Amino acid sequence: MEEITITITILDRTYRLKIDREEEVAILNAVDQVNEKIREYTLNFALRDRQDLLAMVLLHFASNTSKMMKESESGIIEKLKELDRWLSKDLY
């Protein structure tokens, strides 16, 4: 894996990251999503403090991730139940 250094900007602060080249597109997309959510929260809520703004954006993404993980787990459980029904039917 080839490591590269990229520079990203979040809330007017720049950060240099060393990443695998394969991660570059995903990280740049994530930065775009974070900056877009920051713009949205700045326009729609009275959050002027940067720390409050970042906390709300973090909460947004964390809650979405948690929700997606639960939905994924439910889907896996349902597929396992379906497989169990299918196997039970063929075995008896």
pLDDT surpassing 90 at residue 88? no
Q: Where are the domains of the chain?
A: 3-91
Of 65, 17, 2, 9, give the one whose Cα is nearest residue 35.
Answer: 9
**pLDDT, tens digit, 9 for 90 and up, residues 20-63:** 999 999 999 999 999 999 999 999 988 778 999 999 999 999 99
Q: Rounded distance, CA 31 to CA 16, Å?
A: 13
Q: Rounded distance, CA 45 to CA 55, Å?
A: 13
Cα angle 69, 10, 18 (rounded to 5 degrees) comes to: 80
pTM: 0.72
